[in-house]
Structure 1
Amino acid sequence: MATKAPAPRPKRRLSWNDPGIRALIYQVLVVGIVGAIIWYLVSNTLHNLAVRNIATGFGFLHREAGFAIGETMVDYTPADTYGRAIWVGILNTLRVSVIGIVLATIFGTILGVARLSSNWLVSRMAGIYVEVMRNIPLLLQLFFWYAIITEIMPGPRQALHPIQGIFISNRGLKLPALVGDGLDWMLAGLGIAIVAILAIAHWARRRQEATGRIFPLGRTAVLLIVALPVLAWLLGGAQLKIEYPELKGFNFQGGITLSPEFAALLAGLVLYTSAFICEVVRSGIQAVSKGQWEAAGSLGLPRGRMLRLVILPQALRVIVPPMTSQYLNLTKNSSLAVAIGYPDIVSVVNTTLNQTGQAIEGILIIMAAYLTVSLSISIFMNWYNKRIALVER
């Protein structure tokens, strides 16, 4: 029996009564209006700059900067270019942001669990901390911590010495440092240990799903983190020593220095953001039904393991999306570093545009830097959120 050919689709006629045609015309008009506004703003800006004989472009990045930066993660001198100086500022911003995110996550999670503690004093103290920190502007907190370090802390000769090799003074925080050729070997060993732990965790999860047997991942991770760097240190010739800071003259020599500006900025960002992360963690844990607690308790799990193995994995699906916003806020709030003199990207670019007059280019560089970092954080957190999301059958 011959199959009947499908009826030809009617040709679409261009008519204003067609909703699809109207929608297309409206979209074209909106795009055209936005494009015209952008063209007008750009052309008007270029015209005004030309009238005032102000050069445009990013050629200034190759010129000699001529100013010093007090805190750098890479080699830098005033003879280097503006581009190198801006790179130093970006690295300083990434440094405080990454360390701040890690510390704020740890401290905020501890506070979030403390808020739900059955101990009345612990839960109330955590609640008071959250309310105080969230309702004091971050800029004031930065000024407070900077004043504490620079005005109240004693000088180097009377520095506080709570632990061997650690000194706290108005010059900042001095810590012991690992020096020697073996340090690179140890870092390589640590990297291998982290990769191995991730691979073992993936294998252990699949093994548990298949057999129900729990692999001691925690003890294995600790063993690898300790053993592999030590093994790499031995393979590298064991050329490593601890350099303790020593008071010489009017200041300390050796060790690692955390400047007052960096210490104040990090303390302010961590303590402020951890108060918000605390509430995110608390709400995520409370979103898990009470039945999950009862089911875990019926298996005889202690409360700590119950929280780690049953409650928090389910709470993460609620915690991760708002946690992303807190990470972005911490990164963007680091721009307040200019108020206390920490040389982040904003501070370095401000000095650059004051010397070169390239204000528009400088602002574009700052915007591009924060946009790139923020999008990178968002992409990673969205990937992680999809990875832990429930899969519908």
Structure 2
Amino acid sequence: MVSNSGESKQFNLKQLLRDDRFWKIAFQIITLAVVIAILGYLLLNLSTNLSKQGIDFGFGFLSNPAGFSIGESAIEYLPNDPYGRALFVGFVNTITLVIAGIILATTAGVAAGVASFSQNWLVHKISRAYVGLTRNIPLLLQLFFWYFAVYGVLPTPQEQLNLGGLVIASKRGVYVPWPASSGFLMWLGILVALAIAAFFVWQWRTKSMVEQGDSGQTQLMILGAIALAGLVIFAFMLGWEAPTVQEGGGATGGLRLSREYVASLTALVFYTGAFIAEIVRAGIQSVSKGQWEAARSLGLPSNLSMRLVVFPQALRVIIPPLNSEFMNLAKNSSLAFAVAYPELYSIANTTFNQTGRPIEVFLVLMATYLTINLIITLGMNTLNQTVQFKER
């Protein structure tokens, strides 16, 4: 009986060692153990070196008064506020730059990518020249170009440019219309809720048309009502306020965008938009020519063929690499410190110079950028799932 039990155990061990599933799991466990061992060694080495210098690792310094001012802040900040709030100001400034950059870069990239298929010779050449020129010039040089050569030559506030009473530009910055309603956040929340409702109604329409063969007219009417309500809220309920010119220069009202912010945003939009344009062009080219011919056989003009037939199919190819470009834009926003825009890296640089805590500050930096990129990835993966073919 003992001999048979030993042979059975030996047989099971041989069978286990020949199982690919065992080796896949074992390899992951070994890799995790190696990574933990390396990190443990590095942390031990770090702790030893810090203790030799009489420095205790920790984040308690974030509650100490910062003692420095920030030139531009989207939220209230005073020099006596703690370092933690100063870093949060930098985070908010970065987020405003990233969100506006993603929206505008996507718009510019899609427009340039679609324009590359235009039958108009001039539009096609402008699109290709923009992409070829912008992609091959470093972002930092483009940042300096917009800051010094474009916005740096704007007139003084006494001779500022007034574009139809809607946009006022000078060396001090650019003033644009901005909502002044006391219930701005409430109406903005309603707009977001309407957008989410429209998304689910569109999913409902697609599912009913594919699975049940419905015309989708009911859902289309609901989408039209949602769009009309959103347009009314956006146009009339937000209380838009245009900037007003002051005597002697300057302006009041509206939203002031500093020269540093506008230059950083413009450089990020044009640079990232060029890469997005190539992604859009590749996605459109991935759609078979038969789809174009089918659309033309139905009598659809080129613009409707692109909007209703080709572009929706191209989204399955466009969205995955678009995620990478959005993350690159978020990381490239750290270059804005070169033109003195107080984004997260700029304020973090000042913080660790004053506190002598580079390790803790850079850990905060890495965690923040990682979180931003994970949120972008989560959103893009969710969007990607909605445009993929659903097998039945």
TM-score by length of 2: 0.88
- Report the Cα offset of residue 216 of structure 1: 5.8
Match of 1:137 in 2: 138
Match of 1:301 in 2: 300
Structure 2 CA distance, aligned partners of 1:18 and 1:230?
68
Residues 151 and 132 (structure 1), Cα distance of their counterparts in 2 relative to 1, 3 Å cut: same
Match of 1:103 in 2: 104
- Report the Cα offset of residue 63 of structure 1: 1.1
How do 1:33-52 and structure 2 match up within 5 A? 33-52=34-53
Structure 2 CA distance, aligned partners of 1:195 and 1:39?
45
Checking the alignment, whether the CA contact within 8 Å between 1:176 and 1:245 is kept in structure 2 is no
Unmatched 5+ stretches in structure 2 = 1-6
Residues 149 and 53 (structure 1), Cα distance of their counterparts in 2 relative to 1, 3 Å cut: farther
Moved more, 350-359 or 156-165: 156-165
Secondary structure in 2 aligned to 1:65? Answer: coil
Secondary structure in 2 aligned to 1:167? Answer: strand
Secondary structure in 2 aligned to 1:173? Answer: strand
Match of 2:386 in 1: 387
- Report the Cα offset of residue 65 of structure 1: 1.1
Structure 2 CA distance, aligned partners of 1:371 and 1:385?
20
Q: Which amino acid aligns with 1:157?
A: Q
Secondary structure in 2 aligned to 1:263? Answer: helix
Match of 1:225 in 2: 230
Structure 2 CA distance, aligned partners of 1:29 and 1:241?
60
- The reply to whether residue 288 of structure 1 matches residue 287 of structure 2 is yes
Deviations 1:80-128 (A, max 9, x none): 1111111111111111111111111111111111101112221111111
Q: Which amino acid aligns with 1:323?
A: L
How do 1:52-201 and structure 2 match up within 5 A? 52-201=53-202
- The reply to whether residue 315 of structure 1 matches residue 318 of structure 2 is no
Checking the alignment, whether the CA contact within 8 Å between 2:177 and 2:240 is kept in structure 1 is no
Match of 2:241 in 1: 242
Structure 1 CA distance, aligned partners of 2:177 and 2:376?
31
Checking the alignment, whether the CA contact within 8 Å between 2:243 and 2:251 is kept in structure 1 is no
Checking the alignment, whether the CA contact within 8 Å between 2:287 and 2:310 is kept in structure 1 is yes
Structure 1 CA distance, aligned partners of 2:381 and 2:356?
39
Checking the alignment, whether the CA contact within 8 Å between 2:187 and 2:237 is kept in structure 1 is yes
Match of 2:214 in 1: 211
Checking the alignment, whether the CA contact within 8 Å between 1:157 and 1:247 is kept in structure 2 is no
Secondary structure in 2 aligned to 1:329? Answer: helix
Match of 1:373 in 2: 372
Count of matched residue positions in the alignment of Structure 1 and Structure 2: 379
Q: Which amino acid aligns with 1:138?
A: L
Checking the alignment, whether the CA contact within 8 Å between 1:65 and 1:78 is kept in structure 2 is yes
Q: Which amino acid aligns with 2:215?
A: G
Q: Which amino acid aligns with 1:256?
A: L
Moved more, 67-76 or 31-40: 31-40
- Report the Cα offset of residue 385 of structure 1: 1.4
Q: Which amino acid aligns with 2:253?
A: G
Structure 1 CA distance, aligned partners of 2:105 and 2:305?
23
How do 1:234-273 and structure 2 match up within 5 A? 240=239, 242-249=241-248, 251-273=250-272
Match of 1:357 in 2: 356
Structure 2 CA distance, aligned partners of 1:29 and 1:207?
49
Residues 64 and 294 (structure 1), Cα distance of their counterparts in 2 relative to 1, 3 Å cut: same
Secondary structure in 2 aligned to 1:161? Answer: strand
Deviations 1:244-265 (A, max 9, x none): 2333555333321101111001
Residues 231 and 207 (structure 1), Cα distance of their counterparts in 2 relative to 1, 3 Å cut: farther
- Report the Cα offset of residue 231 of structure 1: 8.0
Structure 2 CA distance, aligned partners of 1:207 and 1:15?
54
Residues 208 and 301 (structure 1), Cα distance of their counterparts in 2 relative to 1, 3 Å cut: farther
Residues 28 and 300 (structure 1), Cα distance of their counterparts in 2 relative to 1, 3 Å cut: closer
Checking the alignment, whether the CA contact within 8 Å between 1:150 and 1:170 is kept in structure 2 is yes
Match of 1:338 in 2: 337
Unmatched 5+ stretches in structure 1 = 1-8, 234-239
Structure 2 CA distance, aligned partners of 1:288 and 1:207?
25
Moved more, 80-89 or 243-252: 243-252
Structure 1 CA distance, aligned partners of 2:199 and 2:29?
49
Q: Which amino acid aligns with 1:270?
A: V
Deviations 1:246-292 (A, max 9, x none): 33555333321101111001000000011111111111111111111
CA RMSD, Structure 1 to Structure 2 (Å): 2.7
Secondary structure in 1 aligned to 2:179? Answer: strand
Residues 57 and 133 (structure 1), Cα distance of their counterparts in 2 relative to 1, 3 Å cut: same
Secondary structure in 1 aligned to 2:68? Answer: coil
Which has the larger share of helix? 2
Structure 2 CA distance, aligned partners of 1:306 and 1:283?
17
Structure 2 CA distance, aligned partners of 1:22 and 1:280?
38
Residues 149 and 253 (structure 1), Cα distance of their counterparts in 2 relative to 1, 3 Å cut: farther
Q: Which amino acid aligns with 2:104?
A: L
Secondary structure in 1 aligned to 2:161? Answer: coil
- % identical equivalent positions: 42
Residues 121 and 227 (structure 1), Cα distance of their counterparts in 2 relative to 1, 3 Å cut: closer
Residues 213 and 385 (structure 1), Cα distance of their counterparts in 2 relative to 1, 3 Å cut: closer
Secondary structure in 1 aligned to 2:163? Answer: coil
Moved more, 25-34 or 218-227: 25-34
